[in-house]
Amino acid sequence: MLLKKTSPMVLAIALLASTACSTTKNHSVTSKPVPQALLVMPQRPEPPNDGSQEAILTHAVEFGRYVKNLENQLRGWIGWATERE
């Protein structure tokens, strides 16, 4: 008895769902999630403690690594954004 009452409702829902899927361009309604690696901000290195050549060169290497990480993250964001279009 319960089956006879719910069958028209189930049929109507299935019909509406199939109509909605066939009329949209993109059948996937959910957005692609943002990769977790893009949400982690690279750690900016602290400035050198003194003005010695070694401290400045070490800071330059660390800062270069930081900038490279930012560039990679930017490329990742651009890639993620263009995949969604």
Backbone phi and psi for residue 42, each to the nearest 5 degrees, phi listed first: -60, 145
Separation CA 73–CA 41 (nearest Å): 9
**Domain extent listing, the chain:** 2-84
Give the pLDDT of residue 9: 60
Q: How far apart are CA 72 and CA 24, in angstroms?
A: 34
Write out the chain's pLDDT in tens, 85 residues: 455 555 566 656 666 666 555 555 665 667 778 888 899 999 999 999 999 999 999 999 999 999 999 999 999 999 998 987 6
Radius of gyration of the chain (CA): 27
Q: How much is the pLDDT for 73?
A: 95
* Residue burial 26-51, b: 16+ Cβ < 10 Å; e: rest: eeeeeeeeeeeeeeeeeeeeeebeee
Single pTM value for the model: 0.59
